[in-house]
């Protein structure tokens, strides 16, 4: 059976069953469950050769979905923790260097677009598809933005020692202060 | 390309008798289990099928699925990253390259303490036999059948497959197990359950380049419990062969071959790609079988057991 044909056949056969299964693992959240299934079939498409070579294609898909559900749970929990920690950290206006060597100004996190993105993802339970559509970007672009937001804000948090003071002084900050 | 639909396991019938809540609990618990104790994907799909049948068909189902398929193609497929959208860590989350054909992981059922509930629900809620004025062994189920002639020839029995099986040590039902299994097969797994009035052994046999063979043996202390057994079949006619100890019934369900042999208070069922002659030989090597067969015709019975078509 051709790739397209098999993809469509299995999708139509398994979609509702798999959404029901995913919803049970994601506390009844149907939007997340649907995204889990959509991403599962996306991975099936990307890894078609591997899946098609499997002695049990449907089993391969079920196992992929299981992994997806666990990924969703784990990632959301971690992001929720990160956001909660950031929210509890006093914010200061300062300047530091990020991993790309560019000066990044950390100001009011509440207005930071990356922070907002993570909040919507972690605390409002929005799917990657919803976040992408609300920002007018593609799903892969949204995933990249989420990853970048996580890295950036984690670095922000690591550089704060909890007291609102930057633990590592940047050159630019020292120059501006005339040190 | 392989497909889980080419295999079937008679152990799955226990899921048909579980309540919806029990099945839901099983699925939820499975996601929190260590992988070694997790349900096989075939088992998960079977449970989902059971739940889906109970829920009933959604008239909009196919249309909805097609809409979602269109969305999948438009929004998700353009992302060619093999990792999950939610995998932001170091390594990508990927399924095993090959999903081995596994037995259903009924250890999860044990862990949930559902074994007693499974067996009791299976036999306590099915249709009762019309027993008024009819001997228990003489209960009749009528269906169209075909007659045929069978003569047995074969090797003598060998109970060597039972030797050394720790799961069977000390169990009373060990004496009811067949002494002969087809050449080339060995025990792959044994699962046993014991209730007050019933003992069950589910044995998986496998062999190199041979289709997997499943045998279930139920020994009843309470004959009234036995009469509630129900086996699902499709519309194909049931074939029968009478042994001196009882009758063997051959039937199909969903394209798979099954057989049942009832001898007094013991019910054997087998599933696997084996001939009727081979199945007969297995049954004849049990305590109730005596290596002779007779021609069978007319209306047949399986005392205490009902069969219904889907």
When CB atoms are compared, the residue of B41, B51, B75 closest to A56 is B41
CB contact under 8 A, B45 and A62: yes
All residues of chain B having their beta carbon less than 8 Å from the beta carbon of residue A30 are none
When CB atoms are compared, the residue of A16, A55, A70 closest to B61 is A16
- Give B126→chain A minimum CA distance, Å: 27
Q: Which of A4-13, A60-69, A115-124 has the lowest mean pLDDT?
A: A115-124
Domain ranges, ordered by start, for chain A: 1-74, 89-179
CB contact under 8 A, B62 and A12: yes
SS3 A98: coil
According to the model, what pLDDT value does residue B297 have? Answer: 39
According to the model, what pLDDT value does residue B172 have? Answer: 81
When CB atoms are compared, the residue of A24, A58, A63 closest to B3 is A58
According to the model, what pLDDT value does residue A89 have? Answer: 65
Check residue A62 and report its DSSP letter. Answer: H
With bands split at pLDDT 50, 70 and 90, how would you rate the model's confidence at A164? Answer: very low
pTM above 0.80, yes or no: no
Give pLDDT tens digits for B265-298: 888 888 888 889 999 999 989 876 544 333 333 3
According to the model, what pLDDT value does residue A161 have? Answer: 53
Closest chain A residue to B53 measured between Cα atoms?
A17
Closest chain B residue to A51 measured between Cα atoms?
B97
Give pLDDT tens digits for A71-116: 999 998 888 888 887 777 665 444 444 444 444 444 566 778 888 8
Q: What is d(CA B78, CA B101) in angstroms, rounded to the nearest whole number?
A: 32
For chain B, the three-class secondary structure string (H helix, E strand, C coil) is: CCCHHHCCCHHHHHHHHCCHHHHHHHHHHHHHCCHHHCCCHHHHHHHHHHHHHHHCCCCCHHHHHHHHHHHHHHHHCCCCCCCCCCCCCCCCCCCCCCCCCCCCCCHHHHHCCCHHHHHHHHHHCCCCCCCCCCCHHHCCCCCCEECECCCCCCCCCCCHHHCCCHHHCCCHHHHHCCCCCCCCCEEEEEEEEECCCEEEEEEEEEECCEEEEEEEEEEECCHHHHCCEEEEECCCCEEEEEECCCEEEEEEECCEEEEEEEECCEEEEEECCCCHHHHHHHHHCCCCCCCCEECECCCCCCCCEEEEEC
When CB atoms are compared, the residue of B27, B81, B100 closest to A24 is B27
All residues of chain B having their beta carbon less than 8 Å from the beta carbon of residue A39 are 76, 84-86
Closest chain B residue to A61 measured between Cα atoms?
B95
CB contact under 8 A, A69 and B31: yes
CB contact under 8 A, B93 and A67: yes
Domain ranges, ordered by start, for chain B: 1-125, 134-309
Interface test with B, best of A43, A139, A152 (most B CBs within 10 A): A43
Q: Which segments within chain A are labelled E, that is strand?
A: 94-97, 103-106
CB contact under 8 A, A75 and B87: yes
Give pLDDT tens digits for B70-121: 999 999 998 888 999 998 864 444 454 444 444 444 444 444 444 444 444 4
Which parts of chain B have pLDDT scores under 50?
Answer: 1-8, 90-94, 96-157, 290-306, 309-310
CB contact under 8 A, B76 and A138: no
Q: What is d(CA B27, CA A24) in angstroms, rounded to the nearest whole number?
A: 7
Per DSSP bridges, beta strands B293-294 and B238-243 are: antiparallel
Which is more confidently placed, A147 or B113?
A147
All residues of chain A having their beta carbon less than 8 Å from the beta carbon of residue B59 are none
Q: Does domain A1-74 have CATH number 1.10.1740?
A: yes
Q: Does domain B134-309 have CATH number 3.30.200.100?
A: yes
> What's CA A155's distance to the chain center, in Å?
16
- Give B279→chain A minimum CA distance, Å: 27
pLDDT exceeding 70 applies to what percent of chain B? 60
- Give A119→chain B minimum CA distance, Å: 15
When CB atoms are compared, the residue of A20, A63, A146 closest to B48 is A20
CB contact under 8 A, A53 and B1: yes
Q: Which of A56-70, A155-169, B80-94, B280-294 has the lowest mean pLDDT?
A: A155-169
Question: How would CATH label the architecture of A89-179?
Answer: Orthogonal Bundle (1.10)
């Amino acid at each position: 059976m051709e790739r397209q044909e098999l993809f469509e056949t299995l999708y139509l056969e398994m979609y509702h069953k798999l959404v029901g299964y995913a919803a049970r693992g994601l506390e009844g959240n149907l939007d997340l469950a649907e995204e889990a299934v959509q991403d599962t079939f996306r991975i099936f498409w990307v890894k078609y050769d591997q899946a098609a070579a499997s002695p049990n294609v449907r089993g391969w898909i079920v196992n992929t979905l299981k992994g997806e559900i666990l990924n969703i749970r784990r990632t959301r929990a971690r992001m929720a923790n990160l956001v909660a920690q950031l929210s509890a950290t006093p914010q200061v206006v300062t300047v530091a260097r990020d991993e790309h060597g560019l000066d990044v100004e950390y100001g009011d996190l509440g207005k930071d677009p990356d922070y907002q993105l993570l909040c919507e993802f972690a605390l409002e339970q929005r799917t990657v598809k919803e976040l992408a559509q609300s920002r007018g970007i593609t799903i892969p672009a949204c995933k990249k933005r989420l990853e970048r937001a996580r890295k950036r804000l984690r670095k922000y948090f690591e550089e704060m020692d909890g007291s609102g003071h930057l633990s590592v002084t940047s050159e630019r900050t020292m120059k501006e202060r005339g040190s | 390309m392989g497909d889980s639909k080419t295999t079937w396991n008679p152990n799955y019938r226990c899921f048909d008798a579980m309540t919806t809540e029990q099945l839901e609990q099983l699925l939820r618990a499975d996601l929190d289990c260590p992988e070694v104790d997790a349900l096989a994907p075939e088992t998960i799909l079977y449970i989902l099928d059971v739940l889906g049948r109970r829920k009933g068909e959604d008239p909009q189902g196919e249309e909805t699925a097609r809409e979602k398929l269109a969305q999948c193609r438009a929004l998700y497929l353009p992302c060619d990253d093999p990792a999950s959208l939610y995998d932001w860590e170091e390594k990508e989350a990927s399924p095993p390259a090959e999903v081995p054909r596994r037995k259903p992981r009924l250890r999860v059922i044990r862990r949930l303490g559902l074994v007693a509930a499974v067996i009791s629900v299976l036999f306590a809620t099915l249709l009762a036999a019309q027993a008024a004025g009819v001997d228990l062994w003489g209960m009749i189920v009528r269906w169209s059948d075909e007659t045929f002639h069978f003569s047995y020839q074969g090797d003598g029995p060998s109970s060597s497959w039972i030797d050394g099986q720790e799961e069977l040590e000390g169990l009373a039902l060990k004496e009811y197990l067949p002494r002969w299994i087809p050449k080339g097969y060995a025990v792959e797994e044994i699962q046993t359950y014991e209730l007050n009035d019933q003992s069950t052994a589910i044995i998986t046999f496998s062999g190199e380049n041979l289709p997997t063979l499943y045998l279930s043996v139920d020994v009843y202390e309470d004959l009234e419990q036995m009469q509630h057994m129900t086996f699902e079949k499709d519309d194909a006619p049931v074939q029968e062969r009478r042994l001196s100890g009882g009758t063997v019934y051959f039937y199909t369900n969903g394209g798979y071959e099954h057989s049942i042999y009832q001898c007094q208070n013991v019910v054997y069922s087998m599933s696997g790609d084996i001939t009727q002659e081979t199945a007969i030989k297995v049954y004849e090597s049990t305590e109730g079988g005596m290596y002779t067969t007779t021609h069978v015709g007319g209306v047949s019975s399986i005392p205490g057991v009902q069969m219904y078509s889907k």
